Structure 1
Amino acid sequence: MKCALITGGSRGIGKAICIQLAKDTDYHILINYNSNENAAKDTLKEVEAAGNTGEIIAFNVSDAEQVKSQLDTWQDNNPDALIEVVINNAGITKDGLFMWMPKEDWQNVIDTSLNGFFNVTNHLIQKMLRNRYGRIINIASVSGVKGTAGQTNYSAAKGALVAVTKALAQEVAKRNITVNAVAPGFIKSEMTMDLDEKELKKLVPANRFGEAQEVADLVSFLVSNKASYITGEVININGGIYS
């Protein structure tokens, strides 16, 4: 059984990716969630409605021990299964001006968006290397490419993801493992629900927020064989916001 693991897969962009991969691939879809089990179950229903198989797997990506124990338990229960695709999508925001930012708001965002990448990918990559195949896709952000005021912590975490994508890609390319990042701009989701869309879309040359589905389509392409010569790349999907 070949599998694709999507962290933070229960809602928003993660959910859209789970459903699109269910439609476009034969992968068994592993839907990771941290707190909202009902949302994860809804995503699983849609994966199955798309004609594919899947299951939900609960862990907090920022908790290295929990990641290890949950993935090891899952592997023990599925000895023949192989996770070939990892989509590092889990992330949180704790926005605020840097001068007033509490240390925990800095730390929590880094722990989830950056250390979460390490905890999940580092645990799974040896098997990919032995198997000589893999697709690792990191969901970065326009904040990590050009920086966003009020998001120094999020920009730091996502900017680091961009850098790690480029470095890791060079280490594993010989083993037929690609590592790419996708950097969305303003995408309609729970994360952007509180933003003033009417005002902010004026900053976007395309004059609108993007859809989670548009990001999912791009990720699905990067997972496919059509993208096998693309690695270490950061693909912006932001309606034209460039610094």
Structure 2
Amino acid sequence: MSSLLQGRTALVTGGARGLGAGMAQALAAAGAAVMIGDILEDTGRETARSIGATGGRAAFVQLDVTDEAGWLAAIYAVHTTFGGFDILINNAGIEETALVSELDADALRRMLDVNIVGTALGLKHAFRAMRPGGVAGKGGAVVNVASVAATIAFPAIAGYSATKSAVDRLTRVAAMEAGQLGYGVRVNCIYPGLVPTDMGMKLAADVVTAGLFPTPEAAVGAIVAQTPLGRLGTVADMADAVVFLCSDAARFITGAGLPVDGGMGM
């Protein structure tokens, strides 16, 4: 445990598993109290229990990021459980793989709803809670999780890339508004490279189904070949970047997109 984020209170969306769980664990290890928001109740509660077992402070709240009432309830839960709210990690997201010629309108709408609307609602309610006069009212930091897909052209992820590019733009406009309106909230995003989580490995399998690679291993190999550091990312790589952006070490950083992709997107 460190004291880097001691006294801070965070909400991590999509925090039950994968990158979100790793981010929640890293924030708690840095001293923050962490509320895990997710639709996966059993998994989310287990992740919160595992953080508590290692000495961290964590709890779970059910949160569908596309539901405005859910956001209000989640922020209320953070504030009443931990006595504050000054960090939001907008991590919840979904990915639907398809060639442009095979795009499905319903799948696109699902990604738009979760990846863009969900992120935008998070920014909205974080600002209202963190700004002067809000329920927390002490400012804070928001980190949105975009993707290297927002910075490169990789086949079969056009819809996902579009939504993550939108997350980048939301980040920058929100940072400008928060600064000019005196909210005291910094807003940044990260661009994760491919990480071998369930979601990452599903992508590798999906591009095989799309006929782009003969095996998932070949797909992963192609990504590694495009990465100057010569490996996939890890959950810890992404989580450490998030902790940094939430900490006072990043106190003069806002409106930035931090690539955490081993150089793939340069």
| TM-score between the two structures when normalised by the length of structure 1 | 0.91
- Between the aligned partners of 1:192 and 1:91, the Cα distance in structure 2 is 12
Equivalent residue runs for 1:1-243 within 5 Å: 2-25=8-31, 27-34=32-39, 36-68=40-72, 70-71=73-74, 74=77, 78=80, 81-130=83-132, 131-173=137-179, 174-194=182-202, 195=204, 196=216, 197-242=220-265
Amino acid aligned to 2:60: I
Unaligned runs of 5+ in 1: none
Cα distance in 2 for residues equivalent to 1:83 and 1:113: 22
Q: Could you tell me how far apart the structure 1 residues matched to 2:82 and 2:67 are?
A: 26
Partner Cα separation in structure 1 for residue 90 and residue 14 of structure 2? 8
C-alpha distance in 2 between matches for 1:222 and 1:67: 23
Deviations 1:184-229 (A, max 9, x none): 1111211112312234322222221110111000100111111100
* 1:52 CA displacement: 1.8
Bigger mean CA offset, 195-204 vs 2-11: 195-204
Q: State the AA in 2 paired with 1:82.
A: G
Give the deviation of 1:151 after TM superposition: 1.2
What is the CA–CA distance in structure 2 between the aligned matches of 1:44 and 1:80, rounded to whole Å?
A: 14
**Large movers: runs of 4+ above 4 Å:** none
Distance 2:110 2:174 in 1: 24
1:80 to partner: Cα distance? 7.6
Count of aligned residue pairs for this structure pair: 239
1:168 counterpart SS class: helix
* % identical aligned pairs: 26
Deviation of 1:7 (Å):
0.2
Shift of 1:125: 1.1
- After superposition, what is the alpha-carbon deviation per residue over 1:138-183, rounded to whole angstroms, capped at 9, x for unaligned? 0000111224321121111110110111111111124321100000
Residues 29 and 72 (structure 1), Cα distance of their counterparts in 2 relative to 1, 3 Å cut: closer
Contact 1:93–1:154 (Cα < 8 Å) also in 2: yes
For 2:198 and 2:241, locate their aligned partners in 1 and report how far apart those are by CA, in whole Å. Answer: 20
Alignment CA distance shift 1:99-1:175 (3 Å): same
Give me the TM-score of the superposition, normalised by structure 2.
0.84
Residue 106 of structure 1: how far off its partner (Å) = 0.7
Q: Secondary structure at the match of 2:14?
A: coil
Q: Is the 8 A contact 1:22 1:50 kept in 2?
A: no
Instruction: Tell me the CA shift for residue 135 of structure 1.
Output: 0.3
Structure 1 residue 124: Cα displacement: 2.6
- Cα RMSD over matched residues? 1.9
Q: Which runs of 5+ in 2 are unaligned?
A: 1-6, 205-215
- Determine if contact 1:2/1:81 at 8 Å carries over to the other structure: no
CA distance in 2, matches of 1:22, 1:46: 11
